[in-house]
Amino acid sequence: MATTRDHFGSRAAVIMAMAGSAIGLGNIWRFPYMVGEYGGAAFILVYILCSFILSFPIFLSEAVIGRGTHANAIGAMKQLAPRSGWMALGYLGVITPMVIVSYYSIVGGWSIEYFFKSFTLNFGEFRPTGWVPLIFNTIFLACSAGIVAFGVKDGIEKFNKISIPLLFVLIVLIMIYSVNMPGAEKGVEYLVKPDFSKLTGRTFAFALGQSFYSMSLGMGIVVTYSSYVHKDENLVASGVGTVLAALLFSILAGFAIMPAVFSAGIAPSSGPGLVYETLPHVFSGMGASYPIIGTIVAVLFFFSVVVAAMTSSISLIEVGVAFLVEEKGIKRRTACLLVFLLAWVLGIASVFSMNAFGKVDAFSSNFLLTAGVLLVVLFVGWKMKKEAVREEITNRGTVNNKIFDVFYFLVRYVAPIVVVIIFISNFVL
């Protein structure tokens, strides 16, 4: 079977695809606000620690499952733990991304709508629900599924290889403009001023939750993408590249957004309010004094949001498609159509009600994701044979031998305890 499967062509391709999944709305609309509210540079420090001490080993654990089996999320578990309770990990790995893509694509749709509105800087009131969002959601989903239909190499790899470098260039351009706006210093200060008194257990839980979401962990994505990684590729190197790319993008997004918001004299916010209410205000304000500049910045920004969301949504779609192709013998194109239809139907409630949208988001990103992460670390740390895990991380003893023990300790002991605490705190906080 392995010979009929696609592979990513190079390490750069692996990192671009993984970073494409990681870099998305989480980096743009949640991270900058969290930094400002939870301690500035002090929060960034905690976030970096969480990324390397927890998210990174969890990422590698999923990569061990995916690359070790070269199979989709459910197929992988069928190979490793057939007919056992661990199959739940496989099923969760396919269900969670389906649920997430159903509302994630709605945001993608809003972004397409705002991209068009940017040309006139006439944004009007933000209307997140109704027929117009449904139409743009359909367009966004169809484009994402269309890219996946081209295949791993000709669709996903190609799209990410262009999009990720482009996203970095665009966000740096916007950042340069933003930090030079009058009064931008206050925004910079908001992001960097360290306030260690804000670092509570709660902040830590938020940082970790955000880091898991941002790295697309616990939902079959890293398993599926790494199943397309070549046996000789160094997983640790690809993983480090991905973590660094996602971190860097988050920080750049912060410096692209917050200085402009403060320069316009508006209070910062997060989520849809930041991207579809606050920022349109900022862009229109720029446009009042320099119409062309306001338009250019707005167009580039919303274009970036669309692309960042799409590189994430194609990773969500690929999980379901890989499952249908490999387990059900369905043709890739048909599988893409089926996933598109299912996501579209699942999204109907959210597209007509923000209440439903919020519930689906909270349920999937707090509950399903955390459950998935917990099962992954328990499986790799306690159920798989240590030697099998070592083989995969060290490429049969040729690389990473020194860090293996550290990785294994983190996955076996540290991660499960911390994730259980997060799981419980999601219910009580």
DSSP conformation class of 3:
G
Instruction: Choose between 177 and 249: whose C-beta lies nearer to ligand PHE.
Output: 249
Binding of residue 100 to ligand PHE (CB under 6 A): yes
E-strand stretches of 224-325: none
**Residue 12-51 contact track with ligand PHE, rule CB under 6 A, x = bound:** ---------xx-xxxx------------------------
Tell me how far, at minimum, the Cβ of 318 lies from ligand PHE, in Å: 10
Count other Cβ atoms within 10 Å, centred on residue 194. 14
Which amino acid, one-letter code, is at 33? Y
Cβ(226)–Cβ(62) below 8 Å: yes
Give how far Cα 99 sits from Cα of 105, 226, 316, 350, 392, Å.
Answer: 11, 21, 9, 11, 30
Percentages helix, strand, coil for the chain, rounded to the nearest 5? 80, 0, 20
Interacting residue with ligand PHE among 92, 94, 175, 221 (CB under 6 A): 221
Tell me how far, at minimum, the Cβ of 426 lies from ligand PHE, in Å: 16
Instruction: Choose between 170 and 384: whose C-beta lies nearer to ligand PHE.
Output: 170
Tell me how far, at minimum, the Cβ of 316 lies from ligand PHE, in Å: 5
Collapsing DSSP states into helix, strand and coil, what is residue 119? coil
Instruction: Choose between 69 and 315: whose C-beta lies nearer to ligand PHE.
Output: 315
Interacting residue with ligand PHE among 213, 283, 340, 407 (CB under 6 A): 213
Stretch that binds ligand PHE, among 125-133, 211-219, 398-406, 407-415 (CB under 6 A): 211-219
Instruction: Choose between 80 and 107: whose C-beta lies nearer to ligand PHE.
Output: 107
Tell me how far, at minimum, the Cβ of 2 lies from ligand PHE, in Å: 25
Tell me how far, at minimum, the Cβ of 17 lies from ligand PHE, in Å: 12
Size of the site for ligand PHE (CB under 6 A): 15
Binding of residue 370 to ligand PHE (CB under 6 A): no
Tokens at residue 47, please? 């976030």
Question: Exposed (0-12), middle (13-18) or buried (19+): which is 382, by Cβ within 10 Å?
Answer: exposed
- Say how far residue 359 (Cα) sits from the centre of its chain: 19
Interacting residue with ligand PHE among 216, 227, 278, 394 (CB under 6 A): 216
Instruction: Report 296-325 residues binding ligand PHE (CB under 6 A).
Output: 312, 315-316
**Buried b vs exposed e over 131-144: b needs ≥16 C-beta within 10 Å?**
eebbebbbebbebb
Cβ(401)–Cβ(389) below 8 Å: no
List the one residue out of 246, 176, 232 whose CA is nearest residue 392: 232
Instruction: Choose between 62 and 392: whose C-beta lies nearer to ligand PHE.
Output: 62
Instruction: Choose between 114 and 213: whose C-beta lies nearer to ligand PHE.
Output: 213
Tokens at residue 18, please? 């993984």
What residues line the site for ligand PHE (CB under 6 A)?
21-22, 24-27, 100, 213-214, 216, 219, 221, 312, 315-316
